[in-house]
Structure 1
Amino acid sequence: MTASLNQIYKAIGSLETSVMNLAKAIEVSDKRASDSNKRADQHRAVIHKRVDDLVGEVGDIKTSVETMKEDVADSKVVTDEVKQWKQRGVGALFVAGIAGTAIGGVVVGFIVYWWEAILRAIRAA
């Protein structure tokens, strides 16, 4: 019976050592999981901060775009007015060009028609 008690004690000691090793392994695993969770929490906090910053920036950009839309609308009115001035100026130049051409044609026609009389008047003088 002593031999069998020694074997039982040996088996119990072996089981006790195995249980302690398992407890240590579980403890190490829990510590790793805890560290991993802490790092994940920190990473998520950083990501959330970045997203919050981006939301703020997008809001600022949206406000800037709305302001620019108003400025562009005002600028469009001025631009349209300047285009009208340009069109009127081009029209006036066209009319002046036609008038100048007509006057030049009349003068040339007058000179051609009266050329002989003009030459006689110059020679007679």
Structure 2
Amino acid sequence: MTAAAARALDHPARDEIRLESVLHALADPVRLRIVRELAASESELSCSYFVLPITKSTCTHHFRVLRESGVIRQDYRGTAKMNGLRRSDLDALFPGLLDGVLAAAASQDDRVPQGVAD
């Protein structure tokens, strides 16, 4: 086994992504924050880019839930784990879902004081 293959992460194929798993992943405020930052970025972001109010092990858990649900793709680039939103897969399977969730989160920011929803 090559070193690259040993570091490959499991991702569901597009046809294996389930709506319940995606909704579960997006229901957590920390995971939604990660998805919002990825959606706003024009490129992949490393795990270390995110400043989250949680421990490193909890952060790892949240990224794993997002990856295993099919919301994000993670790939190693050297020692960095890079994260990208699987927007095309999600849009193909659940048209409008991601845009609707992101718009609802932005609307919530406008009406709920910061820190209340976190």
Shorter-normalised TM range = under 0.3
Larger-Rg structure? 1
TM-score (norm 2): 0.19
Of Structure 1 and Structure 2, the greater strand share is in 2
Of Structure 1 and Structure 2, the greater helix share is in 1
TM-score (norm 1): 0.18
Larger relative CO (CA 8 A, sep 6+): 1 or 2?
2
